[in-house]
């Protein structure tokens, strides 16, 4: 079974106009933030996908292995937050392309570890160039300090949301044990 590359078509970029007070009120709405983040993410992914011969999920598997090579299928599934069977499909596809290989786990004879091949290491600069190009396109016209401020804001949002996620899961676990 081969997964197909996803081609999403983000909506057309809205025409720039002079913002009004009403526009500013809308920009502070939760819907605006959510739609903006989703739209930017879709454009980033779509433009990168168009330039890459790999599917988005194959690229994600490789990215995790570049950070820590030699993970088991279960470790990869946990890192990617997807089902172990799905990871197995992506690994098989990447293995057929010669980009990864399965090796026997050093201590657990039942497990296999996934390693990047010499071919992947010899060609990874191509994928990195695509990332660099898309990043350059996305950040064109943004000065360095504004970019760093934006990252600081997004990182703070991520921290706030992660903290809330932990609280929600703890509350949910507490509610299920009291039933």
Listed range (6-15, 79-88, 130-139) with the worst mean pLDDT: 6-15
Higher pLDDT residue, 174 or 19? 174
CATH of domain 53-122: 1.10.10.10
5 pLDDT exceeds 60?
Answer: no
Listed range (85-89, 94-98, 103-107) with the worst mean pLDDT: 103-107
Say what the pLDDT of residue 16 is: 59
Structure tokens at 90: 């992506």
**pLDDT band at residue 131 under the 50/70/90 scheme:** confident
Instruction: Name the residue ranges covered by the structural domains of the chain.
Output: 53-122
Alpha-carbon gap, residue 177 to 179, rounded angstroms: 5
176 pLDDT exceeds 90?
Answer: no
Say what the pLDDT of residue 24 is: 82
> Strand ranges (DSSP E) for the chain?
71-72, 100-104, 112-116
Among residues 160, 163, 82, 158, the alpha carbon closest in space to that of 171 is found at: 163
- Beta-bridged to residue 136, according to DSSP, are none
With a CB cutoff of 8 Å and minimum separation 6, the contacts of 103 are 70, 112, 113, 114, 115
Listed range (14-18, 93-97, 139-143, 166-170) with the worst mean pLDDT: 14-18
Q: Interhelix angle for 56-67 vs 84-96, to 10°?
A: 90
Per the CB < 8 A criterion, the answer to whether 55 and 106 are in contact is: no
Listed range (17-26, 27-36, 119-128, 129-138) with the worst mean pLDDT: 17-26
């Amino acid at each position: 079974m081969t997964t197909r590359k996803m081609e999403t078509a983000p909506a057309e970029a809205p025409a720039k106009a002079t913002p009004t007070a009403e526009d500013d009120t809308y920009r502070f709405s939760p819907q605006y933030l959510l739609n903006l983040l989703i739209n930017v993410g879709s454009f980033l992914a779509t433009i990168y996908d168009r330039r890459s011969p790999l599917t988005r999920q194959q690229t994600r598997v490789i990215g995790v292995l570049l950070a820590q090579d030699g993970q088991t299928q279960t470790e990869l599934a946990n890192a990617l937050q997807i089902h172990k069977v799905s990871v197995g499909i992506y690994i098989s596809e990447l293995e057929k392309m010669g980009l990864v290989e399965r090796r026997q786990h050093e201590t657990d004879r039942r497990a296999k570890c996934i390693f990047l091949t010499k071919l992947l290491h010899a060609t990874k600069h191509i994928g990195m160039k695509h990332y660099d190009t898309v990043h350059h396109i996305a950040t064109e016209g943004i000065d360095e300090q504004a970019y760093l401020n934006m990252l600081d804001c997004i990182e703070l949002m991520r921290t706030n949301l992660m903290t809330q996620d932990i609280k929600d899961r703890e509350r949910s676990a507490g509610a299920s044990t009291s039933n």
